[in-house]
Structure 1
Amino acid sequence: MKTTHEGKRSAGGGRRQVRPANPRGKAPTFTELELDDVFDSFNHRYDKRDRVIFMFSFFLGLRAKELAGLKLGDVLHPSGQVKAGVRLRAETTKGLKVRETFLEKKELLEALDDFLAERKKQGRFDMDQPLFMSQKGGHFSPNTMQKLFARLFLKAGFRGSSHSGRRTFATRLNAMGVDLRSIQVLMGHAFVSTTQGYVETSPERLRKFIKLL
């Protein structure tokens, strides 16, 4: 996964892989190449902020409500050092339960550092301030966060929503062999059956299973 505007093409010269059809009513998942195309389209005033928002969605599996409720102090120590994990406060989660996720991915940390450096230059660096500020300088609402995702996906030429990141997060972890129980905990689901509904199986993955026979 790249995070710059360099572009990325497949061996056949095309940019995008064709995703399988999605079940009715479910947000589409994204391949790595497709997500690279989304990032390539980020060339606007708030692109550093929006890059981190998308990474928190795709690499941490956070909901729109959880993204909207994050504060600087949720990801930073008082010293300004980035925390190893993000502790989601109960009031920001769907089930009103505290949940922890982890800031481990290199690309995410690099994008976060870049974004925070910009925030610091702007002088908006109080730990009680929103991590992701709206144009008005306050928190996004869950609804305006969802609209941001839809708008940026459309700008990149895709149909997608804030739930695309969560479904892609669960699908990729499952494809890597992560057990459903661990994915359930990371997603903040009360039931593993809910997690199963987020995992999308591709023909390529099914072929690999057949080869194991």
Structure 2
Amino acid sequence: MSKTGQARVLTPEQFAHLLHVIQEHRYPEKNTALVQISFKLGLRVQEIALLQIKDVAELGPKSSGQRSFKLKEILALPAAYTKGADALKRSRSTYQRRRISFSVHDFHQLVQRIETMAKAGAEIKPEDFYPEVKKHRGKSRDLPMSDLALRTAIENHLAIRLEANPSVKKTDPLFLTQKGGPYSPNTLQEHVALMQRHWAGIERASSHSGRRTLMTNIIHEQKKSVKVAQKIAGHVSPSTTLIYEEPPEESLKEALRDAGYKYVG
């Protein structure tokens, strides 16, 4: 069953319009590169926020106040990037548990343990009996950067970065905010959504639209296997990738339109 509130899958026309309106705003090279990486490689917004220059390019030596670079053929995305900002200790997040569950066997053991502690007069704190939080494992993946528009966008962005500051380090963030600092996942999420919804006027588009558009294209348009989509998406389980097997909005619209032709009046 389709989930409500899913990110919009952009049509080729909407994507072209998005790229066009980006040129009418500040930092078009950076924003074009952001969008191209999202739609052509399917990176999560937190993965884009954590990208470093060394992930996409080799920096040359600084010479006469200038800095050269060579774009890589493969983006080798570390598994740690999928864990969000904490992977590089940029921010700390707090997690408040709202629901816990136990197997029948574990629950019986827990009750017996509490009974034993109560009889011994020991202090009992509920949080001491919570099951361990499952940590997100993440999954590394190698993504070929073969698309010409993608490569051109990244090259244009890097050229401007290096011209403005030839002393950048290879470990510096690939994308910087207007204030010159790294993006947090939340800030970048809002920025990518802003470009699509407000600049391009695409209803229900979000920071996840690029990833969902790519996965939908791979499965529905290219007819590739779920295994291929899973590898590109970096999903640990293929069941997660199956979410993208849902028909895109354009297919539903076409089906309803065709049905309407036969039932006129």
- Please state which band the TM-score falls in when normalised by the shorter chain: 0.7 to 0.9
CA contact (8 A) 2:138 2:236 kept: no
Q: Return the structure number with greater helix share.
A: 2
Moved more, 116-125 or 170-179: 116-125
Contact kept, 8 Å, 1:70 with 1:130, in 2: the verdict is yes
Superimposed CA distance per residue, residues 173-199 of structure 1 (whole angstroms, 9 cap, x where no aligned partner): 111121110110110111212112124
RCO higher in structure (CA 8 A, sep ≥6): 2
Match of 2:211 among 159, 166, 170: 166
Aligned amino acid, residue 172 of structure 2: Q
Query: Corresponding residue for 1:62?
Result: 43
1:83 aligns with 2:64: no
Matches of 1:52 and 1:93, distance apart in 2: 20
Q: For each residue in 1:71-104, what CA deviation from the matched residue of structure 2 results, as whole angstroms up to 9, or x when unmatched?
A: 0011112432111111112221144332221110
What is the CA-CA distance between 1:114 and the residue it aligns to? 1.3
Query: Between Structure 1 and Structure 2, how many residues are aligned?
Result: 185
Alpha-carbon distance in 2 for matches of 1:158, 1:185: 29
The one-letter amino acid of 1:179's match is: S
Note the C-alpha offset of 1:131.
0.3
Name the structure with the higher strand share: 2
Structure 1 partner of 2:189 = 146
Structure 2 gaps of 5+ residues are 61-68, 84-136, 256-265
Q: Deviations over 1:147-176 (max 9, x none)?
A: 001111122111311110111000111111
Per-residue Cα deviation, 1:7-59 (whole angstroms, up to 9, x for no partner): xxxxxxxxxxxxxxx74121110011001111111122211101111111111
- Residues 109-159 of structure 1 show CA distances to partners (whole Å, capped at 9, x for unaligned) of 111111111111101532111101111212111100100011111221113
Q: Percent identity among equivalent residues?
A: 34
TM-score, normalising length from structure 2? Answer: 0.66
Distance apart, 1:106 and its partner CA: 0.7
**TM-score with structure 1 setting the length:** 0.81
Q: Name the residue aligned to 2:222.
A: 176
Q: Residue 162 of structure 1 aligns to a residue in which SS?
A: coil
Structure 1 segments unaligned to the other structure (5+ residues):
1-21, 207-213
Matching residue of 1:155: 199
